Chain A
Amino acid sequence: MPGLPLFWRGNEGEAIMPNATYIALIPLLPLAGFLMLGIFGRKYFKNTSGVIGTTLLLISTVLALYTAYGYFFEYGKIDGVYQKLIPLKYTWLQFSEGVSIDMGIIIDPISVMMLVVVTFISLMVHIYSLGYMKGDERFPTYYAFLGLFTFSMLGLVISSNIFQIYIFWELVGVSSFLLIGYYYDKPSAVAACKKAFIVTRFADVGFLIGILVLSFYAGTLDFNTLIERLTSAESTEFKTAVAASFMGMSALTWGLVLVFIGGAGKSAMFPLHIWLPDAMEGPTPVSALIHAATMVVAGVFLVARLFPVFAISSPDALSLVGYVGAFSALIAAVIACTQTDIKRVLAYSTMSQIGYMMFALGVSKYGGEDGLGYTASMFHLFTHAMFKALLFLGAGAVIHYIHSNEMKDMGGLRKYLPITHITFLIACLAIAGVPPFAGFFSKEEILLAAYQSNQSIYWVALITSGLTAFYMFRLYFSIFWNREAHVHGEHKGEGGFAMMMPLVLLAIGAAAAGFIPFGHFVSTDGARLETEFHLMFSIAPVALGLAGIFIAMWLYKKASDKPDKIASSLNGLYKAAYHKFYMDEIYMFITQKIIFNLIGRPAAWFDKNVVDGLVNATGNGTKDISETIKGLQSGKVQQYAIYFLVGVIGLALLFIYWWN
């Protein structure tokens, strides 16, 4: 933005405010792209829509980097502490005194970090899709939806108001719905998009009620004020919120747990994870963007946003976050070992890694050295976005080449897809936690944080990290080594510059992102946090990771019957894991059998027969009575006259009787 200053410096003693105009442009440019391509795309931008969307996003990315530079190095710090700045706030809907939905921008370390991550990954996906989606019939619509998603996600991360975050939360949900259902004539895609929307919607009810609870006790919806009021032990709001209790838990804990349910739904935490694997029905770049790097970490981001309240006021809620995260990480890793659809493997791996981020938050405390888990979680979010997006885009390249998602159709592809092969390997090494790739650094910090505060979670995490290395290399060897795939003749190579450039850029990110001194920028209280590495501590996880890799190599490098033998020796467990521990079946049972058959059907029946029956009975009753008494209306005048006479005489007698 030439001509516009980076930030406004107020008078002496006033806060420094960054220039809101260009920060607001970051989400608004993709929105403009959505509107333009969504409304006019089919007619006017049939072929140029990809370029338009990508250009707009490129500007956003530059602005986001500019903001990050300005915030982290120019104006963000006061006395060595990063500030939470609100350069823009606009009252959108005023409910009552103090309670209003404001549309605002909050600039603090995590939101700036997320701005960079979201715009960067989204840009990569935009570029990649230029090649991947080329020739698709609904090309403009695709870019319109990508724009909508990017807008919503960026709006989510800069939300300054808890209701604002809910608004964008729903919007990312719907963009995810639209993109999963992009191939709308495929019944499985339709089912998957519905499932994703409804499951997350169910979790959002929890979020909504949580918002209502928190806002009621805090008397505000504004994040900064809310956190301030609910964390200081002296404030009246805090006292009432802790004093009020319901079923043995304080109102504050309830509120936070409910908010976490919302986050768990979006972040695919157990038991609300069932939508994520199915969501892989969407186009692969979309899976990379939404279901790996950005939207699914929204739950982590939400907990991080409210972290002071969790950590200071309600350790119970925070430890729930920790246990749910750890359990999800483990169970997803186990399931991932058995899946054969490569995107599903990646989906479960995403769930597992998000579990890492969650329990890292769960084991953290507020302030100083104790806040290591928080920093580690955000760090892992950052690195994970890089390597998981890379994995998905690499998988996309493979699928593009082989036209199948199934491992059994693949093998030996390293000769045909050399760039994809190398970048995929880098990503696998990164996620397995092999030094010096990015995943190693963030995972070490998480394990260290867990080790320092909760041993049981630490052991779960350690086992999971071994499993992670195993299933990722199972995937890698099955795709690129193993037996020779039957590659059909007419192939056009790896997909051109548009598809390879993002892979290379992300591979650089996945290899090098770990060297960023993350604690200097992101920490619980905004102050600088020095993270150090203990060589001794790193031995166990790295050794486990390498062991996992070697086992995978032994089993899958050459085609053999070893994996099947092991699978059959672990019969029950293997089957259960292969069927995702029957979670889908349980959900189907609850929804179909209980909700539809035991509530929906009786309600409809009741309405049709009882309520409407009463209405009809009133009508029919009236009709029946008329039927029976209509004989009196015989049409014979003289009969009427007799009735009349009898009536008159009767009345006369009655009056005479009364007079006496």
Chain B
Amino acid sequence: MNLSLLILLPLLTAIVILLMRNAAQVKWVALAGAAVQFVAAFVLLFQFNHQRALGDKAQMLFETQYNWFPSWNISFHLGVDGISVAMILLTAFVVIAGVLVSWNVTKMTKEFYFLLILLSLGAYGFFISLDLFILFFFLEIAVIPKYLLIGIWGSGKKEYSANKLALMLMGGSALVLVGLLGIYFSGTEHSFDLMRLSQLNIPVSVQMICFPLLFVGFGVFTALFPFHTWVPDGHSSAPTAGSMFLAGISMKLGGYGCLRVATYLLPEGAKEYATIVIVLSVIAILYGAFATMMQKDLKYINAYSSVSHCGFVLLGIGMLTKTSMTGAVMQMVSHGLMTALFFAVIGMIYERTHTRQVNEMSGLLKRMPFIISVLFIVGLCSLGLPGLSGFVAEMTVFVGSWEHPDTFRRVATILATLSIVVTAVYILRAVTKTSMGPLTTGFEKLTDATWNEKLAAVILLAGILAIGLAPFWLNDLVGPGAEIIMNKIGK
């Protein structure tokens, strides 16, 4: 499969959307585009597995390389391994669901869908690029639509949130850029090519400087403590699809960058700073969880819980074992699907009740059984119920973290496991308060989900269940990629 297709498809969709004349056409084009992406992602998965089954042991499959800026050694270099394929699948799931739940957007529909598709373009490009320069290029493409999505279609204090999000993410990108340039100029051979750089030995002194830059830079995207405050404000002000994309895809850009760029290219730096990474991620896990307990707005609850859950991604990366890294990637995929669904459900509830305050609603199960059932399932996924994806990912991180015999990492792991109780507390509080109890007066006329909302929920649920019930396929997909990273660290 030619990987350029993954970039061309959204690009084409975006262009066609601009040519459409009315909202209905725009929606159907966007849905068709998202569906084609969805199919393409599955084709990629099957071709990838097929290729691996044939015995292709290359680290990256389907590599394509075009000269782009030869004098600076920048090339348009694409390729995927299992980790990227997993992330692409995640993106495809979230995009199609996001398009479906935005069916009722009436304000500037064309621009809205254009930006959504543009965001997905950035994400796909980011996950498949093997050249750091174009990787950075796509990272920026994925940031800018978010600013507009929140600023124009958002709610609440949207200008503040949009500015905060854009500035903090741009700040992160700036650190990333500095780090990338540091790597570029480190050796005698100037290269942005990931595969080339992984063979060159970047001097330890450079690694010591560049690792924190890159890790913190990407970490801002993944809500690394204490650079996480854009998460709650950004998510809560964004429109539903915006929150889904933000939490489901954008936050994963950072995790992927931390793993693929910072840890893989700078193994010495990763080892040196592992302690700090672990401490920060454990703080994010627990502190995010405790802060969530005090929130009253459903979107804030999910946003803070994202801080906590993304802490597991960083913990898995910081623990530096094959299992924990596999767990980190699984957690990215799992959390992406789960949180996208969570935001979708919150959006559906908000559209009906016009409130997101937990205290202002109760007994919704009576009026909207489908939506609330989905809310229950996604809540249970969030608190790590077996059979759903969250459990698999978290357990893999725990088992991987436990592979270290030293006391510090043991304690960190135990502290992280404690969060599953706190998660249970806040999830149950939110879910039971809204859906159980006597029905709030004034809500007697509410209706259940419409076809598009049902379809979106079912698609994301299918992803969650596919991982939760049969995690081995994802494990086999991601594991070898994590092993290559570990081998480089081990050397």
* Chain A interfacial positions (CB closer than 8 Å to B): 42, 91-96, 99, 101, 163, 166-168, 170-171, 174, 181, 184-185, 187, 189-190, 193-194, 197-198, 201-202, 204-205, 208-209, 212, 215-216, 596, 599-601, 603-604, 606-607, 611-612, 614-615, 619
Contact = CB atoms under 8 A, between A and B. Distances in A.
Given A96-B403, A170-B385, A615-B229, A604 B396 contact: no
Interface centre among B163, B402, B405, B424 (most CB of A within 10 A): B424
Contact of B437 (A168, A187, A215): A187
Given A163-B395, A168-B386, A198-B424, 5 more contacts: A92-B471, A184-B436, A194-B429, A619-B163, A619-B164
Contacts of A101: 395
Interface in B390-436: 391-392, 395-396, 398-400, 402-403, 405, 413-414, 417-418, 420-421, 424-425, 428-429, 432, 435-436
A167 B391 contact: yes
Contacts of A611: 225-226, 228-229
B398 A607 contact: no
Contacts of A599: 290
Contacts of A181: 432, 436
B127 to A, nearest CB: 24
Given A91-B472, A167-B391, A96 B420 contact: no
B386 A603 contact: no
A615 B168 contact: yes
Contacts of A604: 290-291, 293-295
A612 B161 CA distance: 12
B271 interface: no
B467 to A, nearest CB: 10
Contact of A185 (B293, B380, B439): B439
A601 B226 CA distance: 18
A166 B399 CA distance: 14
Contacts of A92: 470-472
13 contacts: A170-B384, A184-B435, A197-B428, A198-B428, A202-B421, A209-B414, A215-B402, A603-B287, A604-B294, A606-B287, A611-B226, A611-B228, A614-B226
Given A93-B471, A94-B475, A604-B291, A190 B436 contact: yes
B490 interface: no
B366 interface: yes
Given A604-B290, A607-B229, A619-B164, A201 B424 contact: yes
A93 B392 contact: yes
B363 interface: yes
A197 B424 contact: yes
Closest 5 pairs between A and B when the two form their complex, measured CB to CB: A604-B294, A167-B386, A603-B290, A184-B436, A600-B293
B187 interface: no
Nearest to A591: B425
A99 B429 contact: no
B386 A212 contact: no
B287 A216 contact: no
B203 interface: no
B385 A612 contact: no
Nearest to A208: B417
- The interface size bin for chain B is 35 or more
A196 to B, nearest CB: 10
A93 B437 contact: no
A91 B413 CA distance: 25
B148 to A, nearest CB: 20
B182 interface: no
B86 to A, nearest CB: 15
B352 to A, nearest CB: 19
Contact of B432 (A95, A193, A205): A193
A543 to B, nearest CB: 46
B192 to A, nearest CB: 30
A184 B365 contact: yes
B472 A212 contact: no
A208 B391 CA distance: 12
A294 to B, nearest CB: 18
Given A93-B475, A181-B436, A601-B294, A216 B229 contact: no
Interface in B316-365: 322-323, 363, 365
Contacts of B475: 93-94
A632 B229 CA distance: 34
Contacts of B43: none
Nearest to A193: B432
B393 to A, nearest CB: 10
Contacts of B425: 198
Interface of B: 163-164, 167-168, 225-226, 228-230, 287, 290-291, 293-295, 322-323, 363, 365-366, 369, 380, 383-387, 391-392, 395-396, 398-400, 402-403, 405, 413-414, 417-418, 420-421, 424-425, 428-429, 432, 435-439, 470-472, 475, 479
B306 to A, nearest CB: 13
A284 B58 CA distance: 61
B385 A205 contact: no
Contact of A615 (B164, B225, B386, B398): B164
B472 A94 contact: yes
Contacts of B392: 93
A209 B369 CA distance: 36
A441 to B, nearest CB: 37
A93 B472 contact: yes
A190 B421 CA distance: 18
Contacts of B366: 185
B402 A216 contact: yes
A208 B294 contact: no
A77 to B, nearest CB: 34
A168 B287 CA distance: 29
Nearest to A258: B414
A99 B321 CA distance: 14
A612 B229 contact: yes
Nearest to B420: A205
A96 B398 contact: no
A181 B323 CA distance: 37
Contacts of B402: 212, 215-216
B295 A205 contact: no
Contacts of B168: 615
A198 B226 contact: no
Contacts of B290: 599-600, 603-604
B75 to A, nearest CB: 36
A212 B164 contact: no
Residue of B385, B386, B479 contacting most chain A CB atoms (<10 Å): B386
A611 B398 CA distance: 28
Contacts of A193: 432
Nearest to B386: A167
B423 to A, nearest CB: 9
A204 B383 CA distance: 12
Contacts of B479: 94
Contacts of B424: 197-198, 201
A218 to B, nearest CB: 13
B391 A205 contact: no
A95 B399 contact: yes
Contact of A184 (B293, B413, B437): B437
A99 B369 CA distance: 40
A307 to B, nearest CB: 24
A190 B472 contact: no
Contacts of B229: 607, 611-612, 615
Contacts of B384: 170
A166 B369 CA distance: 29
Contact of B398 (A184, A204, A212): A212
Nearest to A93: B471
Nearest to B363: A185
A570 to B, nearest CB: 38
A550 B293 CA distance: 52
A54 B308 CA distance: 42
B437 A205 contact: no
Contacts of A187: 437-438
A76 to B, nearest CB: 30
Contacts of A212: 398-399, 402, 413
Nearest to A166: B386
